[in-house]
Amino acid sequence: MNICILGSGSWGCAISALLAGKGNNVTVWCFDKLEYEMLSEQHVHKKFLPDVKLPKTIKYTMDTEEAVKDKDVIVIAVPSFAVASTVSGIKNSFNKNQIVVNLAKGFEEKTLSFLSDVIKRELGSDIKLCMLSGPSHAEEVGRKLPTTIVAASENEEVANIVQDVFMCDYFRVYTSNDIIGVELGGALKNVISLCAGVSDGLGYGDNIKAAIMTRGMAEIVRLGEKMGGKRETFFGLTGMGDLIVTCTSMHSRNRRCGILIGNGMPVREAINKIGMVVEGIVTCKSAYKLAEKYGVEMPIVEEAYNVLYGGCDIANSMTNLMLRDKKAEEMD
């Protein structure tokens, strides 16, 4: 197939290597000129994936029309905040026979919209859209380590096509029609991962991190069902699976940022030190507002919001969580 990857960061490069390795004709659109020159000349992303040599068959461009024209599949591999502007930029070159696959996880901050809705708003509600999500660090996919992921679409045929396009001996793809549940799990786990990192940075042990993960999942389920997601989705790869990997791995930029914040580093400084987009920071604000909008109790998200945006003391926030009113354990 002829495939375009919009975005040349770690995820875009890892996926481009996978797809090119399967014999597809892959073109990667780069936003940054220095990144474009580095990839075109050296076939490696020295900053994000220094150990991954990218196939020389991959083409690179800074022209969106060249990237999108005559492609069978368009893969969106930019941060959540850039999805709207990136998709808007391909309107004139896009046609509705093309399949759009989104890799970004999060919400549109201003409108609290799902990214699938943002993409449909820009390209049309009847496009062939699929969301690809699950426990999948680019660093491991780039090294061809075994990974499983989910292709979610309201159109079963589209999900099946994407499954065939991406699946290989180290990248297993399942399908789902619960696009809401898959998006919510992928977005909200970043907030919980950030909190798990803060716990590590404070020097707390495995006991409380396990509790943050488990009770964090209870909050995800609570909001997810209220917004229309299927309960079982949140206990699958795009929910619990993605939560586990981001809360426990040092590949997770959200966890690493949380560790720095737990160590006492100011939030902005911690983000700058990570050197990549930390989705959990922005998603925390969206999750807090969605919890208010839907009347859902999310104490971990609330305390994270208070620390990140209200200037609250981290240790006090943990005490607040530990001394909440007594109750029976529930997952809804």
At which residue do the structure tokens 């990218």 appear? 54
List domains and CATH numbers for the chain.
Answer: 2-177 (3.40.50.720), 180-322 (1.10.1040.10)
- Name the DSSP class of 292: H
Higher pLDDT, 329 or 4: 4
Residue 285: pLDDT above 80?
yes
108-111: long-range pairs with CB below 8 Å, 24+: 108/80, 108/83, 108/84, 109/81, 109/282, 109/285, 109/286
Query: How does residue 332 score in pLDDT terms, banded at 50, 70 and 90?
Result: low
Q: Reduced to 3 states, what is the DSSP secondary structure of residue 180?
A: helix
Helix H segments across the chain? 10-21, 33-42, 64-68, 83-88, 115-123, 138-142, 156-166, 179-201, 206-226, 242-248, 253-262, 267-274, 279-294, 299-310, 314-322
Q: Band of the pLDDT at 327, cuts 50, 70, 90?
A: confident
- Nearest Cα to Cα of residue 90 among 110, 75, 108, 112: 75
Q: What are the E-state strand segments in the chain?
A: 2-6, 25-29, 59-61, 73-76, 99-102, 107-108, 113-114, 128-133, 147-152, 171-176
Q: Write the CA distances from 291 to 239, 288, 327, integer angstroms.
A: 18, 5, 20
Could you give the residue numbers annotated as active site? 189
Question: Which residue is associated with the tokens 């807090």?
Answer: 288
- CA distance linking residue 226 with residue 99, whole number of Å: 29
Residue 242 token pair: 């993605």
Residue-level pLDDT at 52: 94
pLDDT digits (tens, 9 = 90+) for 121-147: 999 999 999 999 999 999 999 999 999
| % of the chain beyond a pLDDT of 70 | 100
Angle, nearest 10°, between helix axes 253-262 and 267-274? 140
pLDDT in tens, 86-117: 999 999 999 999 999 999 999 999 999 999 99
Q: What is the pLDDT of residues 188-219, one digit of tens each?
A: 999 999 999 999 999 999 999 999 999 999 99
What average pLDDT is seen over the chain?
Answer: 94
Taking only Cα atoms into account, the Rg of the chain, rounded to an integer number of angstroms, comes to: 19
Beta strand 99-102 with 128-133: parallel, antiparallel or unpaired? parallel
Tell me the CA distances in angstroms from 47 to 28, 35, 54, 276, one per residue in order: 17, 10, 14, 10
